[in-house]
């Protein structure tokens, strides 16, 4: 009897693991980028606020930032809200975001954590259309 194949780098042999973060989205990290988005176009939704701006540069990367203030709740609630925002961004902005744009998703107290995920993705699609002026 032969032993089974050992996992390679923690994964099954011959199977590629999906990336932990979407390849086409980059995360905003610097405060001036967040402030520039705050001065740009806004589209409110029941569970979040979407801010978006055209960087007007030659870079084709789509950048996304996530914020959740202490009004959202304690650290556990804020982290959960940001996880949900990251997931809808991967689902929607990765496909429908425009190259050369920055987006910031701002969590709303209570509703970001409680709202249905499918409703949030629909809200984000509509908010993107408003920010893009469609």
Report helix, strand or coil for 98. Answer: coil
> What CA–CA distances, in Å, run from 5 to 8, 10, 11, 14, 81?
9, 12, 11, 11, 39
How does residue 22 score in pLDDT terms, banded at 50, 70 and 90?
Answer: very low
Determine the pLDDT at residue 46: 94
Read off the pTM. Answer: 0.80
Determine the pLDDT at residue 72: 95
The CATH architecture assigned to 25-131 reads: 2-Layer Sandwich (3.30)
Q: Tell which wins on pLDDT, 98 or 8.
A: 98
Structural domain boundaries in the chain: 25-131
Q: Tell which wins on pLDDT, 115 or 25.
A: 115
Report the distance separating Cα 125 and Cα 103, nearest Å: 13
Q: Tell which wins on pLDDT, 7 or 123.
A: 123
């Amino acid at each position: 009897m032969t032993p089974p194949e050992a996992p390679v780098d923690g994964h099954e042999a011959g199977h590629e693991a999906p990336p932990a973060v979407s390849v086409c989205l980059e995360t905003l990290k610097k405060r001036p980028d967040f402030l520039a988005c705050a001065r740009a176009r806004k589209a409110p939704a029941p569970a979040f606020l979407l801010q978006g701006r055209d960087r007007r540069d030659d870079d084709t990367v789509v950048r996304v930032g996530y914020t959740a203030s202490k009004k959202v709740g304690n650290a556990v609630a804020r982290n959960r809200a940001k996880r949900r925002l990251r997931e809808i961004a991967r689902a929607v902005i990765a496909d429908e975001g425009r190259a050369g744009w920055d987006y910031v998703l701002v969590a709303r107290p209570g509703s970001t954590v409680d709202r249905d995920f499918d409703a949030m993705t629909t809200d984000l699609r509509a908010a993107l259309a408003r920010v893009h002026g469609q």
